Chains A and B, each alone.
Chain A
Amino acid sequence: MLFTSYAFIGFVLVLLVLYYAVPRRFQKLILFVGNVCFYVMSGWTNLIFMGITILSTYGAARWIGNNIDAQKAYVKAHKEELSREEKKAYKAKEKKKRKLIAALAVILNVALLALVKFPNRIFLFLMPMGISFYTLMSLGYLLDVYWEKQKPEKSLFRFALFVSFFPQLVQGPISRFKDLSESLYAEHALDWKNIYYGFVRVLWGFFKKLVIADRLSVVIATISGDFDTYNGAYIFLEMFLYTIQLYADFSGGIDITIGVAQMLGVEMAENFIRPYFSKSLKEYWRRWHITMSTWFRDYLFYPISITKTMQNFSKFLRAHFGDYIGKRLPVYVASFIVWFVTGIWHGTTSNFIVWGLVNYVILMISEELEPAYAAFHEKCIPAEAKGWRVFMVLRTFTMLCFLKLFDCYQSAGEVFRAYGSAFTFAKLDELVHGGWLQLGMSLADYVVVAIGSVVILTVSLIQRPESVRDQLSRKPFALQAGVVMALFLVTLIFGAYGMGYDASQFIYNRF
């Protein structure tokens, strides 16, 4: 079910009414039924995949939790009888068992994900909605239990509610159990502030998605779909517009997700902090798709970095090549794996894999150049100088425009061909003299996109100290009502939806 469909709006309205109409102890049940309905409407086969993930991770986590409890009880009961070595050996034996169970559950779920992700005739057709997101959520939970950072959830129903919480199934965020569970499992009285704030957030998401992202999708599809016609300078236009489209699309979807959750009284993690104001790629990845970046950091990068193999590798390097290499190279190896996996997680075609590796290379080069940057700032321009900061933001944005082109084509080869073509500046004349108006958007559409982008930019600047909704809530009622009404009407009139527009899936939905 598309977030921007009438069906979804109707579904949320009915769910909200039922959620607050029933006695609070039944709210979780209503929500769970809603999750199932939402998922079934996207294809009943999806339930099988999600069911396997829920049962396997729940079962493994429960077993691990029970084993830890049993181990503690055994050690406590035999405190006097067991020697230190015996205790250690017993614990190691139990940990091995837990590791085996955790590994089996991880392998099963990764295999399921791989099965539908890797191009094949049968399972690609089944591609369950949100599998990339709920698989990472479930595995994160399982690993937290295995590392004893998280007590296992005893109730299968409650755990299933966490994994299947419908707003996050379309395109994330990748929630952590400890962050989401508290408000998800709580009983909620009808809170008008939550309803109002959530509604405005949803509206803002619709504005980004319908007014900007979906309007631009026509141009992006036209250019990327016909390289023979649209090459040369058209590629620069594509890069620039796609960068705007992706942000409007993805962050708009997340706004809808968080807004709907807020109306239900559930707090979800933020996934963006004004990413296009980043001054470097490293900073960008702290501000873009935050829940994914932190997931890969916490559940892949750190665990790889502290494996015995990596520790031994580091020791070996220190002994033979000195401390610097011994310290850096293991980090680079772990980062390489993380970025390789991040690429594959987005898609198994070569464009995504190379995209991950290009990110990796740029980040590693930046790391190595940090001392040089520091020296440059000390001697030439201070890093805090306003002009320099603006330059760095524009430089990073330009770099992102190039990087995002990997999304637009089916293989790395096609992307590099597009880069090569762009720098010939061929067809620049054609593009400037009306070519840009032959791509599926009229001049009026470009004006709407430009004004819409300025609105997003302005809101990003205004919200730095405090959310716009909080700021607005202190203004006179007429102004608040006017702003919200204007947002609604602008989205309704200028949104690219209905007959004549193909309903665009959220871009991140396909990952």
Chain B
Amino acid sequence: MVNKYLFLAYSFVWLIFMLYVWNLSRRQTRLKKDLDEVKSKVAESASTTASGPSGS
């Protein structure tokens, strides 16, 4: 049978790394979403400027 301290040590290490990688991937997804949103806003405002004030 595997020693319980050995099992706990390796389990904790992999758990800590997996949690950190999961946290990194969550932050990356959120940032990517924000970046896409802002970029689409920029594209929208650029197209409005290019078409000029609409006939009022």
Partners in one complex: no
Contacts from B to A (Cβ < 8 Å): none
